Amino acid sequence: MTMISRISKTTMMLGAVVVLATGGAAADGHLGKIKERQEAMKAVGGGMKIIVGTAKGEMAFDAAAINKAAMTIKTNLEKSSSLFPEGTGEESGVENRAKPEIWLDTEGFAAAMKKAIVAAEKVAGVTQKADLMPALGQLGAGCKGCHENFRAPKK
Amino acid sequence: MKRKSTVLLAGIAITGSAVFMVLSAPQPFDEKVLPAHKPDMANGRVIYDAGGCISCHKPAKGAGDVNLPSGGAPLKTPIGTFYPPNITGDANSGIGNWSDLQFVNAMMAGVSPTGQHYFPAFPYTSYARLKITDVLDLKAYLMSLKKVDTKGQKTTHLLAEPVLRRGMGVWKKVSFEQGDFVADTTQTASWNRGAYLVAGAGHCNECHTPRNFAMGLDFSRHLAGGPHPEGKGKVPSLRGLKKRKRFSSVDDLNSALRFGEILGYEDMSSGGMGDVQTNMSKLPEAETKAIAEYLFSLQ
């Protein structure tokens, strides 16, 4: 084996290692974003439980608790708005339910997210039980509006 | 020898075509099935909402009043894109000139006024379970809506459509069963009402019951869920909802049907269920409760 061929072989192997490593890093980045947004949505779900439970009368009305739950929803929705970079749909290879429409209709997706955020803010400002149901109606419609167009059915 | 085989082939082709034409012939109802009936508009509205007609017959984005079933919004399916027609009462572009019998045949036999088969993207396979009086009420309700003239609106054009369309007759022979809904006399009236709405107008089976090799509904796995018809993800099973603790009670399920994600019920929005739930929310509460009673009881 000549020196040159040995060098080129080493270079090729090194190259392969680099490609694998960066590929892995990109996938890790995507995986991170997907996990982060799934966590954020879980937090949103947690907040919803308190608000829905109160609206249904399963929990006593507590303005401070409603405010806290609604703010949790708001901040997590805001956070997740930036957690949908291109390449993190099903093409990422990581199981998740983001539909391609998120990137085909970026404006529609942003508007749907915004609607839910604004609605969460309104719920946060509710101080009496009578106002909770109408405000929750808006917030729930926000969840629905986004999910029906941008979230795929369960695998 | 050569001539013999040519004759034989021609014979097979002719016989084959003849058999195909016989098997695929549309079989509409006869005038005699129509009862004397005074339409009940309120009931027509219930059938309309339970069927969620607007979901498929809505106008294309920005092309008209989203609350009127003037059709035209594209419906993508594995065999091509459908443009569901205008079902408002407009005489030329809608159903304004349809007779009652033509409407019943469309809904329950899957045969158009010009005597052609409909593709089961239009779920007459489920609507066949409807009472004819309910279908007549639905027609009266549709005729009461504002008439929309949709002249020039896109219509369905599939590849090899005439052959495919005629071929639907053969598919119907295998996969389409007519016949009234059969009540279970051991159950309550409301349970049976729910079962009727699920099987007929609601056409829940079309997605929630898996299909067999011939793309017919496999009732041995009734409402057991399966692959999503649009190709991605799954449609959930509606069996064992109680055992699987998906809902805590009939009231809980009723509330999910009526409010969906507005009351935080997850997975009532994606995969097309959002529209279904919106339509169900318009039903009188007794109707959704009947659906809930029936579904919750399925083991």
pLDDT of A25 strictly over 70: no
Cβ atoms within 10 Å of B13's Cβ, excluding its own: 10
Contact of A143 with chain B, judged by CB distance below 8 Å, is answered with yes
**Nearest CB to A153: which of B233, B264, B275?**
B233
Contact list in B for residue A147 (CB cut-off 8 A) is 261, 269-270, 274
Rg of chain B's alpha carbons, rounded to an integer?
21
- Distance in angstroms (rounded) separating the CA atoms of residues B251 and B235: 22
**Per mean pLDDT, which range of A6-20, A33-47, B39-53, B265-279 is the poorest?**
A6-20
pLDDT of A1 strictly over 70: no
The pLDDT tens digits for B249-263 are 999 999 999 999 999
Contact of B233 with chain A, judged by CB distance below 8 Å, is answered with yes
Q: Minimal Cα distance from B270: which residue of A? A: A148
Q: In the structure, how many helices (H) and strands (E) does chain A have?
A: 5, 0
Contact of A140 with chain B, judged by CB distance below 8 Å, is answered with yes
The pLDDT tens digits for B80-124 are 999 999 999 999 999 999 999 999 999 999 999 999 999 999 999
Q: Do B263 and A52 touch (CB under 8 A)?
A: yes
Q: Do A147 and B270 touch (CB under 8 A)?
A: yes
CB B123 within 8 A of CB B206: yes
Cβ atoms within 10 Å of A4's Cβ, excluding its own: 8
pTM (predicted TM-score)? 0.89
Q: Do A154 and B274 touch (CB under 8 A)?
A: no
pLDDT of B131 strictly over 70: yes
State residue B1's pLDDT score.
Answer: 56
Contact list in A for residue B273 (CB cut-off 8 A) is 148
Q: Do A144 and B263 touch (CB under 8 A)?
A: no
Q: Minimal Cα distance from B275: which residue of A? A: A148
Instruction: State the burial class of residue B268 (Cβ atoms within 10 Å of its Cβ: 0-12, 13-18, 19+).
Output: buried
The pLDDT tens digits for A41-70 are 999 999 999 999 999 999 999 999 999 999
State residue B230's pLDDT score.
Answer: 79
State residue B79's pLDDT score.
Answer: 86
- Distance in angstroms (rounded) separating the CA atoms of residues B179 and B289: 25
**Per mean pLDDT, which range of A16-20, A50-54, B275-279 is the poorest?**
A16-20
- Distance in angstroms (rounded) separating the CA atoms of residues A100 and A52: 30
Contact of B263 with chain A, judged by CB distance below 8 Å, is answered with yes
Contact of A43 with chain B, judged by CB distance below 8 Å, is answered with no
- Distance in angstroms (rounded) separating the CA atoms of residues B238 and B210: 12
CA-based max dimension of chain B: 77
- Distance in angstroms (rounded) separating the CA atoms of residues A122 and A136: 9
State residue A28's pLDDT score.
Answer: 66
pLDDT of A21 strictly over 50: no
Contact list in A for residue B271 (CB cut-off 8 A) is 152-153
The pLDDT tens digits for B282-296 are 999 999 999 999 999
pLDDT of A19 strictly over 70: no
Q: Where are the beta strands (DSSP E) in B114-230?
A: 226-227
Average pLDDT over residues B159-174: 94
β-sheet bridge partners, residue B117: B111
Q: Minimal Cα distance from A47: which residue of B? A: B264
Contact of A153 with chain B, judged by CB distance below 8 Å, is answered with yes
Scored b (16 or more CB within 10 A) or e, A31-40 reads bebbeebeeb
pLDDT of A12 strictly over 80: no
DSSP B30: P
pLDDT of B145 strictly over 60: yes
Instruction: State the burial class of residue B169 (Cβ atoms within 10 Å of its Cβ: 0-12, 13-18, 19+).
Output: buried
CA distance B132 to chain A (A): 33
CA distance A141 to chain B (A): 6
ipTM score of complex = 0.83
CA distance B161 to chain A (A): 29
- Distance in angstroms (rounded) separating the CA atoms of residues B161 and B119: 10
CB B269 within 8 A of CB B258: no
- Distance in angstroms (rounded) separating the CA atoms of residues B5 and B187: 62
In DSSP notation, B99-143 reads -HHHHHHHHHH-B-TTS-BPPTTS-HHHHTTS-HHHHHHHHHHHH
Q: Do A51 and B261 touch (CB under 8 A)?
A: no
Please report which confidence band the pLDDT of residue A3 belongs to, taking 50, 70 and 90 as the band edges: very low
How many percent of chain A have pLDDT more than 90?
A: 74
Element (H, E) at A110: helix A106-124
The pLDDT tens digits for B41-73 are 999 999 999 999 999 999 999 999 999 999 999
Please report which confidence band the pLDDT of residue B6 belongs to, taking 50, 70 and 90 as the band edges: confident
State residue B163's pLDDT score.
Answer: 93
State residue A27's pLDDT score.
Answer: 56
Please report which confidence band the pLDDT of residue B16 belongs to, taking 50, 70 and 90 as the band edges: confident
How many percent of chain B have pLDDT more than 90?
A: 88
Q: What does the mean pLDDT of chain B come to? A: 95
CB B68 within 8 A of CB B130: no
State residue B78's pLDDT score.
Answer: 82
Q: Do A148 and B270 touch (CB under 8 A)?
A: yes
Q: Which two tokens stand for residue B87?
A: 């079902």
State residue B181's pLDDT score.
Answer: 97
Q: Do B234 and A155 touch (CB under 8 A)?
A: yes
